Structure 1
Amino acid sequence: MNDQNKNLILATALSFIVILVWFWLFPPPEQPAADPNAPAAVTQTLEAPAPATTTPAQGEVAPVPQAPRLAIDTPRLAGSISLLGGRIDDLSLKTYHVTLDDSSDTVRLLSPVGEPQAYYALYGWVPGGALDFADVPGATTEWQVVSGQTLAPGQPVTLQWSNGKGLTFTRELSVDDRYMFSVKDSVANSGTAPATLQPYGVVARHGKPKDLQNYFVLHEGVVGRADGKLTEVKYDKVAELPEVAREAAHAEVVEAKTDGWIGFTDKYWMTVLVPEQGKPFTAVTKYNAQSDIYQTETRMPLVTVAPGASVEVSSRLFAGAKEWETIRSYQNDQGIAGFIDSIDWGWFFFLTKPIFWLLHNLHGLIGNMGLAIIALTFVLKLLVLPLAYKSYVSMARMKELQPEIEALKARNEGDQGKMQKEMMQLYKDKKVNPAAGCLPVLIQIPIFFSLYKVIFVTLELRHAPFIGWLQDLSAPDPSSLYNLFGLLPWAAPAHGSVLALIFIGVLPILLGISMWLQQKLNPAPADAAQAAIFAWMPWIFMFMLGGFASGLVVYWITNNTITFLQQYAIMRSHGHKPDIFGNIKASFQRKPKVAEVAKGKK
């Protein structure tokens, strides 16, 4: 076995192992089944804790009374606000549909208590001192409308409630033309005694999301930041938090002094509480097992309102799509520190962030995400070209040394130690690194992982079209051998099924062919075991990657094509003209059986 073939097998085996492990950890998405155990109608009441650690907590299961609503109507959002508690609990995303069909339902983000998978935001006050919960507005308070009937950009609404004991609470809600709500809560004291109380915000989720994907590569659950530290906690881990008696739940309490935010994130959407930046607050994550409610909270410091005085507290709520440009704008232009990290960039964030930035800008220039991925591949290959060039040159020089290596082996037959010593000296004299051929693969692995993350997680790839049948680059190729790519009158197998993994589409087939052609730059190894590995490898990869996002397969095909051209050019520059057609022809010739080979040797 010559060293060049050793390097090729090592590189191929390493790549195969990495992809196999990746495919095992992150299989292609399965269609989520309907949840037969959707939670019944539940509501939230508040328990009265001590003033210094006031907290809203989940209460008992109870019916929810109907209450008047105010409409929400913005260029990107539609829904309503319940006057019961002033809840923002009915929200859909106008510009995003559930499927590729524009006539399908828009994505529903928030839903009120009483519906399956209730998910909502709530603001209120917790009493301190001589006050009790009947004296402050909370989850079951019915607010009165003071001004406004529809919440829209430039059209705020104002709600009010009085406790009849001298405290008047006013809430002004406004919304921008994207996904940010602003909440101004104030309390005026017309009584004779000071009032001590604490403002809070809550995002509550009844049960896990029905479309929870549970992939290791994807974070779904609590996401937050406190004083520069990012926190991500999956739903299962929230349920495993320590039981805190005062919180009456499994909980984690974090004190933030300067900046932060907290809420829930899905793959493409999120709902996050954003307290006033630059001021201290308490971030709370909790889970109530009895009512199966996940909850995040922001608690601002206690305030004391003197007789004749008033206090105002401002906060914000992000509820919408995780659009990179939108979130970056909130971070850079509106001072929400680290908000871009609410997008799940993963372990290779130092690669995923610049890769996405480049892909996003290429898409802006080209206007087609598939072409942008192809352009991105060219740029990435150009960036690593110097190192890749050295690797390919090293491989070419190894080929040049083959006659000397074969002569060395013949001269030292039977003395393995001496042969290895002389071979190492030969490499040193000729300044050739036999391991350099693995570098292109080693370079590709982190780039592949990072691009996989970008395509799988970022919203901009969702429902992004390319050409013809490829209308969603975040999903696997929808074409299939099962119906001869649409020529036969029956549907292709559903994604995630066994048939879909066997009867692959056009892109995986092109991937296998591109890998196979790349192999044909060199003759098949003389060793039968090596030849068998090389013969099967492209087709194994073809089926393994068949269920991956089509955008990733487009990248891999482009990468293989560029690599093929690079290797061909370098081999020609070193005096070797690859006999591609001869190698292809040889691969279809009948191979002698092992018994025949043994007989011939005799």
Structure 2
Amino acid sequence: MDDQNKNLILATALSFVVILIWFVLFPPPEPEAIEPAPAVTEETAAPGDVAATPGVADTPGGTPATEETAAGPADAPRIAIETPRLSGSISTQGGRIDTLALKDYRESTEPDAPIVSLLRPVGTAGAYYALHGWAPGQGLAIEDVPGPNTEWQIAGDATLTQDTPVTLTWDNDAGLRFTRQIAVDADYMFTITQSVENTTEGTVSLAPYGILARHGEPVDLKNFFVLHEGVVAMADGELAEIDYDDMTDFDVDAREGVPAEVMQVTENGWIGFTDHYWMATLVPAPGEAFRAAAKYDPRRNIYQTEAVLPTQSLAPGASAEVTTQLFAGAKEWETIREYEAEGVEGFIDSIDWGWFFFLTKPIFALLHWLNQLIGNMGWAIIALTLIIKAVLFPLAYKSYASMAKMRELQPEMEKIKERAGDDRQKLQQEMMGLYKKEKVNPASGCLPLLLQIPIFFSLYKVIFVTLELRHAPWIGWIDDLSAPDPSSLYNLWGLLPWAAPEPGTILALIFIGILPLLLGVSMWLQQKLNPAPTDPTQQMIFAWMPWVFMFMLGSFASGLVVYWIANNTITFIQQYLIMRSHGYKPDLFGNITGRNKKKAAEAAKK
């Protein structure tokens, strides 16, 4: 193997090690506890008042701020939300959807762990809610339209189910009657229909809007560069992702008076907040133009996204109705894909597929299909590995055959090195002459390694960001493929009567689990079949690499380590069989015990 190709492999391997070290030194931080938000008072700004509630493009001056009433949303009458997948409530103050839990998901793998809470009312830690209303235009004042503090009346059923929508009404006592109907489907999509009837003697104008507001950053924010958390929006086919810290650096919008980013959507779009596994998104009707905005109010530390629809002009006796949707739930690939098929353009891109989306999307689609077929995500990962190796086998065969040939030429290469001594130019010329004579391309052994790197990182992305891997069990002690192997050498992998170190600690990195150990062994066995570099330094680096990776990958998701073990095992078997076909007799540890001259001659003819 010439110096250029040796350096290529060395540089690739070292780059990979550097990235792994980065993952270990800068893991996702533990979420910091935050103090509960203070109770809302008259002096405390209303949640919908961030940036003076949404401004409307063709409404002069936007919408002025209102004051919060003394009674907070938690004290107002509530409408229960009960579906097979959701539980929560809607406050009649402002008609806020501000309490929502996801019944299918728990905070941990413990059977009695709390159910995941997505939306929370004002006055609780991490308050997060959705509200809808009308922004006043010509001929109206702020008190003439329903806002975040409006006391709505319940008409009919007081429980929202997938079969029974609820209706709220409000009369401004000045000739405008407002109605809001809220429905929810079997999964996570709410449908909000807002209507207004003008019984005054004059023409009025007003604009419907939807708001998502968060008090402070999420309590479980990961702040990990592999994952996007923050604003996610689609505007006419263009995806926008904005982190929370970037929102604080927005330019101050002249209309709103606070840091804001505004997008005009002409036909199709949506905007909201995405977490690691959960999301809340405002979704106007397909084909509807609207004004999307992301804002941050530094005075109250409130993050906000808005969807403001065009202004409606109502003549005396006229009425208007507008329907929008609100997604609030888990980022399930199959569920989100169904919503996209129903008209929510680009909704599948709300999942953070990353730069290698052309790989991560098909890899996950195949993994999801295999999981449905097999019924276990761990075995699905192994089946995926088999498929990937089968697709790459024609290329891999040439690589392994080239490596077998390189091993055959090893004695001759050592002789050339002895003859050349310190003459690097002579060594290079004679090596190239040997390769040309024997029709060997040493670079062909590098290509499978280079192809494996983007596939590895794509699978890492898939395992880290997709909900389907969360709390997915495999076998025995592996009850969460998205988390590191919980076993540890510290307690002899569960044989001794004390607990393993906490994941992420130094002890957990030192006292590795069973899967990282198997990974190191599988890498070592695979390496034994490859021709060793002639350079002593490179020999030492390659000799240590399996054990370095063993410790580095110990803190990675178990699903990723399962993939790598399966990949190494399949690669070893392939190389073993190909070397046998070329006349070598490797034992189960990769050591060459002899050579079949007849088979070697047959292989040389091929």
Does the 8 Å CA contact 2:48/2:211 hold for their aligned counterparts? Answer: no
- Please give the secondary structure, in 1, of the residue aligned with 2:457: helix
For 2:195, the equivalent position in structure 1 comes to: 186
Tell me by how many angstroms 1:39 deviates. 3.3
For 2:578, the equivalent position in structure 1 comes to: 570
C-alpha distance after superposition, 1:180-234 (max 9, x if no partner): 0000000001111111011100000000001100000000000000011000000
Separation of aligned partners in 1, 2:409 and 2:428: 15
Out of 216-225 and 495-504, give the one that drifted further: 495-504
- Please give the secondary structure, in 1, of the residue aligned with 2:442: coil
Tell me by how many angstroms 1:22 deviates. 4.1
For 2:59, the equivalent position in structure 1 comes to: 52
Separation of aligned partners in 2, 1:524 and 1:405: 12
TM-score, normalisation: structure 1 = 0.92
Out of 246-255 and 13-22, give the one that drifted further: 13-22
Query: Which residues of 2 match residues 157-236 of structure 1 at below 5 A?
Result: 157-236=166-245
Separation of aligned partners in 1, 2:198 and 2:531: 88
Separation of aligned partners in 2, 1:525 and 1:418: 18
Amino acid at match of 1:17: S
For 2:328, the equivalent position in structure 1 comes to: 319
Does the 8 Å CA contact 1:522/1:580 hold for their aligned counterparts? Answer: no
Tell me by how many angstroms 1:398 deviates. 1.9
- Please give the secondary structure, in 2, of the residue aligned with 1:467: coil
Separation of aligned partners in 1, 2:62 and 2:463: 39
Amino acid at match of 1:577: K
Amino acid at match of 1:125: W
* Percent of paired sites with the same residue: 60
* 1:115 matches 2:157: no
**Change beyond 3 A, Cα 1:534–1:146:** same
**Change beyond 3 A, Cα 1:154–1:581:** closer
Out of 270-279 and 432-441, give the one that drifted further: 432-441
**Change beyond 3 A, Cα 1:300–1:480:** same
Tell me by how many angstroms 1:530 deviates. 3.8
**Change beyond 3 A, Cα 1:447–1:19:** farther
C-alpha distance after superposition, 1:60-96 (max 9, x if no partner): 7885432100000011000000000000000000110
Select 2:395's aligned residue among 380, 387, 390.
387
Does the 8 Å CA contact 2:213/2:305 hold for their aligned counterparts? Answer: yes
Out of 57-66 and 540-549, give the one that drifted further: 57-66
Does the 8 Å CA contact 1:204/1:296 hold for their aligned counterparts? Answer: yes
Tell me by how many angstroms 1:521 deviates. 2.3
Separation of aligned partners in 1, 2:592 and 2:303: 60
Separation of aligned partners in 2, 1:487 and 1:10: 44
For 1:248, the equivalent position in structure 2 comes to: 257
Separation of aligned partners in 2, 1:486 and 1:436: 44
* 1:541 matches 2:552: no
Does the 8 Å CA contact 1:256/1:283 hold for their aligned counterparts? Answer: yes
Tell me by how many angstroms 1:575 deviates. 1.5
Does the 8 Å CA contact 1:84/1:141 hold for their aligned counterparts? Answer: yes
* Structure 1 portions without partners, runs of 5+: 586-602
Query: Which residues of 2 match residues 477-556 of structure 1 at below 5 A?
Result: 477-521=485-529, 528-556=536-564
Amino acid at match of 2:361: K
**Change beyond 3 A, Cα 1:462–1:417:** same
Out of 530-539 and 94-103, give the one that drifted further: 530-539
**Change beyond 3 A, Cα 1:72–1:358:** same
Amino acid at match of 1:192: E
**Change beyond 3 A, Cα 1:557–1:5:** farther
C-alpha distance after superposition, 1:148-180 (max 9, x if no partner): 111001201111001111100000110001000
Select 1:422's aligned residue among 430, 441, 462.
430
Select 1:17's aligned residue among 15, 28, 33.
15
Tell me by how many angstroms 1:392 deviates. 1.4
Separation of aligned partners in 2, 1:307 and 1:285: 35
**Change beyond 3 A, Cα 1:409–1:57:** farther
Query: Which residues of 2 match residues 559-598 of structure 1 at below 5 A?
Result: 559-579=567-587, 581=589, 583=591
Tell me by how many angstroms 1:40 deviates. 2.3
Amino acid at match of 1:519: Q
Separation of aligned partners in 1, 2:331 and 2:436: 54
- Please give the secondary structure, in 2, of the residue aligned with 1:247: coil
* 1:335 matches 2:339: no
Query: Which residues of 2 match residues 58-73 of structure 1 at below 5 A?
Result: 64-65=71-72, 66-73=75-82
For 1:593, the equivalent position in structure 2 comes to: none
Select 1:101's aligned residue among 93, 103, 110.
110
Tell me by how many angstroms 1:528 deviates. 4.4
Separation of aligned partners in 2, 1:57 and 1:12: 63
Q: What is the total number of aligned residue pairs between the two structures?
A: 581
**Change beyond 3 A, Cα 1:70–1:305:** same
Does the 8 Å CA contact 2:585/2:592 hold for their aligned counterparts? Answer: no
TM-score, normalisation: structure 2 = 0.91
* 1:348 matches 2:347: no
Separation of aligned partners in 1, 2:61 and 2:333: 35
Out of 536-545 and 451-460, give the one that drifted further: 536-545
Separation of aligned partners in 1, 2:589 and 2:16: 31
- Please give the secondary structure, in 2, of the residue aligned with 1:78: strand
Separation of aligned partners in 1, 2:421 and 2:493: 55
For 1:259, the equivalent position in structure 2 comes to: 268
For 1:377, the equivalent position in structure 2 comes to: 385
Separation of aligned partners in 1, 2:534 and 2:441: 22
For 1:458, the equivalent position in structure 2 comes to: 466
- Please give the secondary structure, in 1, of the residue aligned with 2:240: strand
Amino acid at match of 2:525: L
- Please give the secondary structure, in 1, of the residue aligned with 2:231: strand
- Please give the secondary structure, in 2, of the residue aligned with 1:245: coil
Amino acid at match of 1:491: A
Tell me by how many angstroms 1:423 deviates. 2.5
Separation of aligned partners in 2, 1:5 and 1:546: 32
Does the 8 Å CA contact 1:55/1:299 hold for their aligned counterparts? Answer: no
For 1:595, the equivalent position in structure 2 comes to: none
C-alpha distance after superposition, 1:97-117 (max 9, x if no partner): 111122111000000111111
Does the 8 Å CA contact 1:44/1:59 hold for their aligned counterparts? Answer: no
Tell me by how many angstroms 1:401 deviates. 2.7
* 1:32 matches 2:22: no
Select 2:309's aligned residue among 300, 316, 321.
300
- Please give the secondary structure, in 2, of the residue aligned with 1:456: helix
Separation of aligned partners in 2, 1:322 and 1:298: 21
Separation of aligned partners in 2, 1:465 and 1:92: 23
Does the 8 Å CA contact 1:31/1:495 hold for their aligned counterparts? Answer: no
* 1:41 matches 2:47: no
Tell me by how many angstroms 1:54 deviates. 6.3
Does the 8 Å CA contact 2:280/2:328 hold for their aligned counterparts? Answer: yes
Out of 62-71 and 343-352, give the one that drifted further: 62-71
* 1:402 matches 2:410: yes
Separation of aligned partners in 2, 1:64 and 1:150: 22
**Change beyond 3 A, Cα 1:94–1:579:** closer
Amino acid at match of 2:285: E
Tell me by how many angstroms 1:422 deviates. 3.4
C-alpha distance after superposition, 1:419-444 (max 9, x if no partner): 42233233234332122211121011
C-alpha distance after superposition, 1:249-300 (max 9, x if no partner): 1001110101000000000000000011102100000000000000000000
Out of 387-396 and 121-130, give the one that drifted further: 387-396
Amino acid at match of 1:349: F
Out of 208-217 and 510-519, give the one that drifted further: 510-519
- Please give the secondary structure, in 2, of the residue aligned with 1:341: helix
- Please give the secondary structure, in 1, of the residue aligned with 2:228: coil
Amino acid at match of 1:18: F
Amino acid at match of 1:449: F
